[in-house]
Amino acid sequence: MREELFAAVYGGADDVLVGLVRADAAGAVAAVDGEGHTALYAAAVADRPSAVRLLLAAGADPRAACGEGGGDLPLCGAASGGHTEVVRALLAAGADPDGREAYGFTAVAWAAVQGFGDTLDALLEGGADPDLPGPGGELPLVLAARRGSARAVRALLGTARAPRAAAGARRRSPRRGAGWASTWSGSCGRSWPPRTGTASRRSCGGRWRTARRRWRWSCCGTGCRWRAGPRGRGTRRW
């Protein structure tokens, strides 16, 4: 059965694989090849999403390591080949997104060093930590940059910036004095985001000091607005 099972996995013979799993699901899940790899790992490395889902449904453990010394993980095997659909299937079944193989690679490190941006997106959406170092202590961002993959670098930078962007998006009312604000409130009680960013502040004289000179905004069209003033100062109109 073992030879038939792995031949079906590598050859993409789903009908044969279904028949073998139906005949002996436990045996199909537990079978290993000559290198100690399970059928699930083989399907992940060979980019066989349907086989992966079938074996997972039959009871295969997405967290189980295999291979010589038990150092190979299905998720890392899929990530190293850029098999995004397989990565999503394994994560949905409960694979550890931050699992580390014997040589120190995580799935994110594998995808970064190979430059697979779409796979990185899937891993990060599944909860993987983008800042766990690789086997040499390098961050995944360094590995992606060294590979020269702009797509992978963007995927990692987008995750790194998300917390800061979310923090900057919190709405706060301006305060008198030199209080910093990320939203302005008009006389009508409504508020809107500043086009000058958070580097704008209000002075005690009832004027807004801003880092940019050219800006114009209106909150509701009822006369509650701001217009550009000299040297980057805004003149308030009600």
What is the pLDDT averaged over residues 188-212?
Answer: 39
Average pLDDT, the chain: 76
If one compares 69 and 210, the residue with the highest pLDDT of the two is 69
**What's the one-letter identity of residue 17?**
L
The b-or-e profile of 72-111 (16+ CB within 10 A means b, else e) is bbbbbbbbbbbbbbbbbbbbebebbbebbbeeebbbbbbb
9 C-beta neighbours (distance < 10 Å), count:
30
pLDDT at 170: 41
The residue among 158 and 128 whose pLDDT is bigger is 128
Give the N- to C-terminal CA distance of the chain in Å, as an integer: 82
Q: Within 10 Å of residue 35's Cβ, how many Cβ atoms?
A: 11
What's the average model confidence in pLDDT over 130-145?
93
CB 115 within 8 A of CB 144: yes
Bigger pLDDT: 16 or 197?
16
Q: Looking at the predicted structure, is the pLDDT value of residue 58 above 80?
A: yes
Instruction: Say whether pLDDT at 119 is over 90.
Output: yes
- The residue among 4 and 216 whose pLDDT is bigger is 4
pLDDT band at 178 (very low <50, low <70, confident <90, very high): very low
Contact criterion met (CB below 8 Å) for 117 and 147: no
Structural Rg of the chain based on CA atoms: 27
In this model, does residue 106 exceed pLDDT 60?
yes
Structure confidence at residue 159 (pLDDT): 52
Q: What is the pLDDT of residue 103?
A: 86
Residue among 198, 147, 136, 101 nearest 155 (CA): 147
Please give the backbone phi and psi of residue 43, each rounded to the nearest 5 degrees, phi first: -70, -35
Average pLDDT of span 188-198: 41
The C-alpha angle with vertex 181 and arms to 178 and 183, in degrees rounded to 5, equals 145
In percent, the amount of the chain with pLDDT more than 90 equals 61
pLDDT score for 4: 94
Provide the pLDDT for residue 69. 83
Q: What is the DSSP letter of 72?
A: B
Q: Give 44 or 207, the one with higher predicted confidence.
A: 44
pLDDT 10s digits, 28-42: 999 999 999 999 999
For residues 58 and 79, the answer to whether their CB atoms sit within 8 Å is: no
Domains of the chain: 2-167 (1.25.40.20), 184-237 (no CATH)
Pick 57 or 186 by higher pLDDT: 57
